[in-house]
Amino acid sequence: MNVLLVGGGGREHAIAWKIAQSPLLTKLWIAPGNPGTALHGENVEVKATDLDGIVALAQRIAADLVIVGPEDPLAAGLVDRLEAAGIAAFGPSGAAAQLEASKAFAKSLMRDANIATSSSATFDDAARATAYVHDVSHRVVVKADGLAAGKGVTVCDDVAQAEAAIDAAMRDRAFGAAGARVVIEERMFGRETSAHAFTDGVTVRHMPFSCDHKPVFDGDRGPNTGGMGAYSPPSWLPERVADAIRREVTERTVSALADAGTPYRGVIYPGMMLTADGPRVVEYNSRFGDPETEVLLPRLRSDLLAICDAVAHGRLAEVPVEWSDDATVGVIMVAPGYPGTYPTGAPIEGIEDVDDDVQVFLAGTARDAAGRLVTAGGRVLCVVASGKTVAEARERAYDNVKRISFEGAHYRTDIAARADEPLGVAAGR
């Protein structure tokens, strides 16, 4: 098969690495890709958000399948455009991708389908939103309705913070059009986990659970990032709760979307919080998580390309989707200053020194004029190790992280450190 993978982050390097192992693959192209994806196929300089360019490229290479990584082209309708051109695509339609692209859409779907989430109200008017946060007695989270590159969510401790978040989104348009509408929800407390699944709109194949770490510093301090590391599985997650999430959230969401006439195909990823009142949806994502993909795909025993092709053609029930029992831990190395401003162009040393069975998935990286690997983004790379337990994988991941260096490199030292703490001990933190 000729395959085009759309995207250029660590997630896409992990997808490319796994797709390249498929006996079904003839050739892989990645648009735009990064130096990591270039190890597994041919990068083409077309932006993921250039829908015309992606469709033209897919036609030029006679793609049998296009796999779309990031949320923006999905929400903009790339899969619809490809299918209209007769090209099979892995990912939800623009209408189904609203599950991630509109928080108000997701809240309304959950209300109608009786899927547990926090109470919320949606506002198109800043004055009314401000009055609301004065009226309610609970703490709130203010969310820009649309896609805001992971930055549109403000978790508030008091009314002043909520007012500032409403002003930033609705009056100052800090997130552009995405903040013209806000969803204000009751703040939840508890431990978070990511519930990924493949679906073709009818069959659902659940992936193992995973957890990411968003704040930039140890102890969950500092601003949120795109993710500083991840692990799988969370042994603290009771099986009865995991099962409830699979049936009462993921599968119920897929059914509700089908019933609404917007069948969902691709990866569906509800972000969950385990509150004192039970598991609640924090948000949905309409794609593989990053960095969760980097720890999930090394656990996938089956052929990812066969799965993606089956999803695109509505025959997921026919292919095996099997997972290793091994645990995985991924540690992200970031540029100094991230998620604020940061330098680029620093040479990256030591990747050749990592163990053979440890993966280094590249994200914000480039080749300089001399062909050296240099930093080119905030999240630079993810080091992923496996083990019989999360503790073993964690020790191996950090042992290998220490062999890689670039000027000012920062990483958290506590990724997966609490992975073995029972739920009751960690609840509420």
3-state SS class at 202: coil
Closest CA to 61 of 46, 80, 72, 76: 46
61 vs 304 by CB, closer to ligand GLY: 304
Q: How far apart are CB 126 and ligand GLY at their closest, in Å?
A: 26
Where residue 188 falls (left for φ over 0; alpha for ψ -120 to 50; beta otherwise) is beta
Q: How far apart are CB 228 and ligand GLY at their closest, in Å?
A: 10
Return the number of other C-beta atoms located less than 10 Å from residue 164's C-beta. Answer: 14
11 vs 181 by CB, closer to ligand GLY: 11
Q: How far apart are CB 194 and ligand GLY at their closest, in Å?
A: 6
150 vs 336 by CB, closer to ligand GLY: 150
Write the single-letter amino acid at 125.
Answer: D
Where residue 169 falls (left for φ over 0; alpha for ψ -120 to 50; beta otherwise) is alpha
Stated as kind and residue range, the H or E segment containing 331 is: strand 327-334
Q: How far apart are CB 128 and ligand GLY at their closest, in Å?
A: 29
Q: Where are the beta strands (DSSP E) in 195-323?
A: 197-199, 204-206, 211-212, 215-217, 221-224, 229-232, 266-275, 278-285
58 vs 415 by CB, closer to ligand GLY: 415
Tokens for 183, please give them.
């969803």
CA 170 to the chain's CA centroid = 26
Q: How far apart are CB 269 and ligand GLY at their closest, in Å?
A: 7
3-state SS class at 237: coil
Distances in Å between the Cα of 210 and the Cα atoms of 79, 109, 154, 196, 199 are 27, 24, 23, 8, 18
Listed in sequence order, the DSSP H helices in 260-416 are: 292-296, 304-312, 390-401
3-state SS class at 373: strand
3-state SS class at 332: strand
Whether omega before 422 lies within 30 degrees of 0, making that bond cis, reads no
Which stretches of the chain bind ligand GLY, using CB under 6 A? 150, 212, 227, 285, 289-290, 292
Q: How far apart are CB 11 and ligand GLY at their closest, in Å?
A: 8
64 vs 292 by CB, closer to ligand GLY: 292
Q: How far apart are the first and last CA of the chain?
A: 47
Q: How far apart are CB 352 and ligand GLY at their closest, in Å?
A: 28
Q: How far apart are CB 114 and ligand GLY at their closest, in Å?
A: 25
Closest CA to 329 of 194, 191, 211: 211
64 vs 294 by CB, closer to ligand GLY: 294
63 vs 147 by CB, closer to ligand GLY: 147
Give the integer Cα–Cα distance in Å for 310 and 201.
11
193 vs 375 by CB, closer to ligand GLY: 193
364 CB burial (10 A radius; 0-12, 13-18, 19+): buried
55 vs 237 by CB, closer to ligand GLY: 237
11 vs 81 by CB, closer to ligand GLY: 11
130 vs 293 by CB, closer to ligand GLY: 293
Whether omega before 339 lies within 30 degrees of 0, making that bond cis, reads yes
Q: How far apart are CB 137 and ligand GLY at their closest, in Å?
A: 30
Q: Which residue is nearest to ligand GLY (CB)?
A: 289
Write the single-letter amino acid at 29.
Answer: W
Q: How far apart are CB 193 and ligand GLY at their closest, in Å?
A: 11
CB contact at 8 A, 225 and 380: no
Tokens for 190, please give them.
């508890």
Q: How far apart are CB 212 and ligand GLY at their closest, in Å?
A: 4
